Structure 1
Amino acid sequence: MKFDDKWVPDSDVIVGILEKKFPEPFLITPPEFACGGLYIAGEKITAVDLSLAPKLYHLKIALGHFKKWSVL
């Protein structure tokens, strides 16, 4: 993503920038909600979800390509 004329490739850094620029909705997972569900915090998307999504997608693609494994 491009922020203020600077390209930022790291998804974790992008989430941090988004959290500062747009504090609502709050993206940090409160510890009492870190129990799962549709998202890590249940029904609310958090920074953890935004961080994990591209990593899980890459894992799914790599396992399918190199190991012929299928991931739901």
Structure 2
Amino acid sequence: MPYVQVRITREGATREQKARVIAGITDLLVSVLDKSPATTFVVIEEVELEDWGIGGLPADAYRRQNLSEPEHR
């Protein structure tokens, strides 16, 4: 009985997009692990942008910083 929790920032993901994420994750678990879709649970949790941190910074500050820096490849 797989349980998958997906956390995304609350930035306007539509109901349709979330449904596609749920279907895609379920399909992946069915095809790779032979799990039953009837007992596969996918939960999407939306987190406020100010509550998401990356690299020691709030997500919006991290994005601003990385937009102003050249990409490192």
Using structure 1 for the length normalisation, give the TM-score: 0.31
User: Relative contact order, CA 8 A, sep 6+: which one is greater?
Assistant: 2
Using structure 2 for the length normalisation, give the TM-score: 0.30
Task: Name whichever structure is richer in strand by fraction.
Answer: 2
Larger Rg belongs to: 2
